[in-house]
Amino acid sequence: MDIYQIIDQIHLQNLDNLDESIDGALFTDDHDALFQLGDTLLQYGLNPQGLKVFARLFELYPDEPDVMAYYIECLIDDNQHDKAIEVLHNTPLTVERLMLEADIYQQQDMLEVAIEKVKQAYMMSSEDPIISFALAELYYFDGQYLPAARSYEYLINNGIDRVNNVNIQSRIADCVLQSGDYEEAVEHYEKIDDKDMLSDDYFKMAISYQKADRIERSIQTLQTLLDKDPDYMQAYLLLVNLLESERKYNDAIIVGQKGLSLNEFYKELLVDTGRIMIKMHNEKGVEYLIQALTIDPSYVEASLLLADYYREEEAYEDLVKLFAYIDEEDLDPTVMWHLAYSYQQLEKDTEAKHFYAESYNVLKDNALFLTDYYNYAREIADVKLAEQLYALMLQIDPNADIDA
């Protein structure tokens, strides 16, 4: 079977005896056909066979950039990173070699080494926009936003606004946002055409407006985002918080409920929406908080809000019942304090003593906690404990009005 017949069989997904056919094709004199075979194998995800082909071609053409690039790609896909580096080190120092080395080091999360390789390539070919883009991307993903922005701006200044489907203006805006210059970030986002704005761009633009204290513009941007992409869940959470900050509580609740209709397991949105509902005396908010705690029993914010709510409402039995099914190791010390107080009110001294003692080490500098604990110690006539707590309370506030 000749090479073109093998290629046809691959397209038809007839892969019987493929390895045998590949082995027979490796020593053909038609090297162009062999290259096409290797490319076809990789297109169909047949990487082990593709590696065989390009290893053979690399033996024949070690100085051919395309052959080397494919061979190195195959070695990387086969997790032979050390072999790939060894092969490259034995080839002449070229831009292609440096860029391949950078790719390998990037995949190994050695971004600083990858950056140095691309810098070397840039010194050899500073006019190549792909190299400038690669350097910018490495800086960006390494969190070096200022040098990344400079590299992206070089591309913009040379009339290049998109590389590999990446919007360069969007990258610059994000770099400036991450660097903390929010007004400038807004300016860059406003330069992006609406048709080129992705959902992430709208969200980060909203954050830029928020950080720049332009809350109404941030709200408008999030509303635009949700009109275009109603499944962008993070936008619901931020919008709820912004509406709350503007005291638009009913609007915040409506947005939160709309988001939860799409994802009822979004615990952060459950908590924020539920908290605002409780603030507006809507007891359904308690159900949202309980749902969040059911999803994640260790979710501290939900447990704190519920503990505070039940104690304020003097619903001590409800508080005890809620946390009875949660592992003690998942309980925040403040929740334990409220549990202790609830058990105290229910005259269950064993549990009250336990939870006061468990929360003491963390909350011993909290005057309100110490007041509760001190009053309980007096209630159960534990004089020694009461004296100890009394002394601590005076250390915190020597002028405190405490019944001795």
Q: Which of 108-112, 119-123, 217-221, 399-403 has the lowest mean pLDDT?
A: 399-403
Indicate if 308 and 374 belong to the same structural domain: yes
Mention every residue, 6+ apart, whose C-beta is less than 8 A from residue 139: 115, 145, 147, 148, 151
Indicate if 276 and 362 belong to the same structural domain: no
Query: For residue range 163-184, what is the model confidence (pLDDT) as tens digits?
Result: 989 999 999 999 999 999 999 9
Instruction: Work out the number of other CB atoms within 10 angstroms of the CB of residue 384.
Output: 8
Indicate if 239 and 336 belong to the same structural domain: no
How many angstroms separate the CA atoms of 181 and 38, rounded? 49
Query: Mean pLDDT over residues 88-116, rounded?
Result: 92
Q: What is the pLDDT of residue 323?
A: 93
Instruction: Work out the number of other CB atoms within 10 angstroms of the CB of residue 300.
Output: 14
Q: What is the pLDDT of residue 311?
A: 96
Indicate if 247 and 308 belong to the same structural domain: no
Indicate if 279 and 382 belong to the same structural domain: no
Instruction: Work out the number of other CB atoms within 10 angstroms of the CB of residue 166.
Output: 14
Q: How does the average pLDDT of the chain come out, rounded?
A: 94
Q: Which two tokens stand for residue 170?
A: 């969007």
Indicate if 329 and 369 belong to the same structural domain: yes
Does the pLDDT value for residue 399 go beyond 80? no
Is 106 within the bounds of a domain?
Answer: no
Q: What are phi and psi of 191, to 5 degrees?
A: -80, -15
Is 338 within the bounds of a domain?
Answer: yes
**Residue-number span of the structural domain to which 270 is assigned:** 230-288
Domain boundary among 288, 308, 328: 288
Indicate if 307 and 349 belong to the same structural domain: yes
Indicate if 283 and 340 belong to the same structural domain: no
Per-residue pLDDT band at 402 (split at 50, 70, 90): low
Per-residue pLDDT band at 397 (split at 50, 70, 90): confident
Query: For residue range 275-321, what is the model confidence (pLDDT) as tens digits?
Result: 999 999 999 999 999 999 999 999 999 999 999 999 999 999 999 99
Indicate if 365 and 266 belong to the same structural domain: no
Indicate if 304 and 390 belong to the same structural domain: yes
Indicate if 400 and 341 belong to the same structural domain: yes
Query: Mean pLDDT over residues 204-216, rounded?
Result: 97
Residue tagged 């633009």 (tokens): 205
Indicate if 258 and 314 belong to the same structural domain: no
Does the pLDDT value for residue 6 go beyond 80? yes
User: Quick one: CA dihedral 254, 256, 258, 264, positive or negative?
Assistant: negative
Is 37 within the bounds of a domain?
Answer: no
Domain boundary among 242, 267, 288: 288
Q: Are 356 and 366 in contact (CB under 8 A)?
A: no
Is 313 within the bounds of a domain?
Answer: yes
Return the bridge partners of 166, or none.
163
- CATH number of the CATH domain containing 338: 1.25.40.10
Per-residue pLDDT band at 404 (split at 50, 70, 90): low
Query: Mean pLDDT over residues 370-388, rounded?
Result: 94
Angle at 307 between CA 320 and CA 312, to 5 degrees: 100
Angle at 207 between CA 152 and CA 139, to 5 degrees: 25
- CATH number of the CATH domain containing 253: 1.25.40
How many angstroms separate the CA atoms of 299 and 326, rounded? 11
Q: Are 185 and 173 in contact (CB under 8 A)?
A: yes
Query: For residue range 149-163, what is the model confidence (pLDDT) as tens digits?
Result: 999 999 999 999 999
Is 142 within the bounds of a domain?
Answer: no
Per-residue pLDDT band at 400 (split at 50, 70, 90): low
Per-residue pLDDT band at 401 (split at 50, 70, 90): low
Query: Mean pLDDT over residues 89-109, rounded?
Result: 91
Which H or E run contains 167? strand 166-167
Total domains in the fold of the chain: 2
Q: What is the pLDDT of residue 15?
A: 86
Domain boundary among 268, 288, 308: 288
Is 211 within the bounds of a domain?
Answer: no
Is 52 within the bounds of a domain?
Answer: no
Does the pLDDT value for residue 191 go beyond 90? yes
Amino acid at 195: K
How many angstroms separate the CA atoms of 355 and 352, rounded? 5
Does the pLDDT value for residue 58 go beyond 90? yes
Is 183 within the bounds of a domain?
Answer: no
